[in-house]
Chain A
């Protein structure tokens, strides 16, 4: 109950109401469109659109910062590399004997903007859709693959079971760690090998619990007559709504703008 994995934050917003399929396709499209951006004006449009989407999703800014944290170092390194090693034409100033070009300055800023925009748009999907709805959406999107005998339903079922058990096992792990700590286990050794060894008392009970849960789950599914995807109906049927139309139209406008600027106007 204390650990929230899967980063879904329930709220009522345009993004929360939109169909997961729309959001998955939207995320992929956003990746492509943001990577297409070259000029400042394109980046500006992208930044405005992503910011708009972010505001419309009602996701707290703190969560976005949280998802940016892990890639912060990568971000700093790439922009530093761009800053020092990108070869441009006009020299802006010299650091010692090393010329720094105008192009390299703008390149490093653009890299930062690009990565930040990519992360924000990808986070919007996971912050506004529950893991169950993402799996449902993926299953629905992958259904055409079942023609070439890809077991789409089984893959989706496996994914949703795996996702379903992450919080359960996280709680279980928390409980086992506390129990072992209460009988004298110490997990804060500085020595890496000792540290790994100290987790054995956690891992063994956790594996036993996992196998037991899997067995119970299988029995429960069988006693409810589960026999795979064939002929199975759904309780929650995915439906496109007005939110999807709004999102699609806005994204189409944004996409057209970027493509026109990039390939037709070529500024």
Chain B
């Protein structure tokens, strides 16, 4: 059970002067339960790629399989129920007059009883940490962070097994950012496959179990955060970089001559420093 992408090509506006080949043959497999991050510079094709995962775009060539079923025009409804997609600034898509109605919007077409709808909305709201006292308020009265949680809740209410997110933390303050990412972690621990598109290498390193780098419509690198972020020069040549903490330890290793493993998480860095100092290989 996984998302399998086979030789995926996508051409925008084919056979016009505006023709653009955004994806040039992507091969990728994302296992169920994974926390995958997709990174790449602006215009690399990463947004185009993930829009294929729930059929918002259909392949010009190649195939996308979700749990063994190819995404086609005919099964979009089923695919979208299985694969949720949270767009960048999802709070811009809120429109109902109350928070409750907005969250329940996606359930409308399933002809559920009022009780069932209520139950689903309550459990989704609990998941994102949204207080029930907000349910009857207008969405436009809420704070930025609350609005975003309502919007994400509106996707989670459909109980997707895959969740795609495009820059879910952008525009949030430090606290909102931390909350958002720990929410994703929580979802992932509860069994949801999370696929995150982000420009923040720090967030990716901190949370993702696997990193895929897209460059110029092709998969350039693919592996664990340690594998991918050990290649600083290559990443820089693609207008990307390593996380702050990784870069810091790389510089430290170069200057001091002490060989160090690739560090991607702040915690790892902290432990490594303690170890170095306690072993006496490095003193302040």
Taking Cβ atoms with an 8 Å cutoff, the residues of A that contact B are 1-2, 4, 9-10, 60, 62, 175-176, 178-186, 200-201, 204-205, 208-209
Contacts and interface: CB of A to CB of B under 8 A. Distances in A.
Contacts of A183: 84-85, 93, 105-106, 154-155, 158
Given A4-B18, A200-B95, A209-B92, A179 B105 contact: no
Identify which of A2, A181, A183 gathers the most chain B CB atoms within 10 Å of its CB. Answer: A183
Contact of B13 (A2, A205, A208): A2
Interface in B100-139: 105-109
B199 interface: no
Contact of B87 (A4, A10, A178): A178
B13 A185 contact: no
B93 A176 contact: yes
B105 A182 contact: no
Nearest to A2: B12
25 contacts: A2-B13, A175-B87, A176-B92, A178-B51, A178-B85, A179-B85, A179-B90, A181-B80, A182-B56, A182-B84, A182-B87, A183-B84, A183-B85, A183-B93, A183-B158, A184-B81, A184-B105, A184-B106, A184-B108, A184-B158, A185-B105, A200-B95, A201-B105, A205-B94, A208-B92
B77, B87, B90, B94 pick with most chain A CB within 10 angstroms: B87
Interface string B146-164: 0000000011001000000
B132 to A, nearest CB: 21
Interface centre among B12, B54, B80, B92 (most CB of A within 10 A): B92
A218 to B, nearest CB: 20
A184 B94 CA distance: 13
A59 to B, nearest CB: 10
Nearest to B17: A9
* B13, B17, B87, B95: most-surrounded residue (chain A CB, <10 A): B95
Given A179-B85, A183-B84, A184-B80, A204 B109 contact: no
A215 to B, nearest CB: 15
B105 to A, nearest CB: 7
B58 to A, nearest CB: 13
Given A200-B95, A205-B93, A186 B77 contact: yes
A4 B18 CA distance: 9
Contacts of A201: 93, 95, 105
- Sort A-B residue pairs by CB-CB distance and give the 4 closest, nearest first: A184-B106, A182-B85, A204-B95, A183-B106
Contact of A182 (B18, B109, B155): B155
A61 B237 CA distance: 41
A185 B105 CA distance: 8
A176 to B, nearest CB: 6
A182 B13 contact: no
A185 B154 CA distance: 11
Contacts of A175: 87
Contacts of A2: 12-13
Contacts of A60: 17
Most chain B Cβ neighbours within 10 Å, of A10, A62, A184, A185: A184
B87 A179 contact: yes
A208 B139 CA distance: 13
A182 B12 contact: no
B92 A186 contact: no
Interface string B182-196: 000000000000000
Nearest to B54: A182
B129 to A, nearest CB: 19
A180 B94 CA distance: 9
Nearest to A174: B56
Contacts of A181: 56, 80
A200 B93 CA distance: 11
Contacts of A186: 77, 109
A10 B105 CA distance: 43
Contacts of B85: 178-179, 182-183
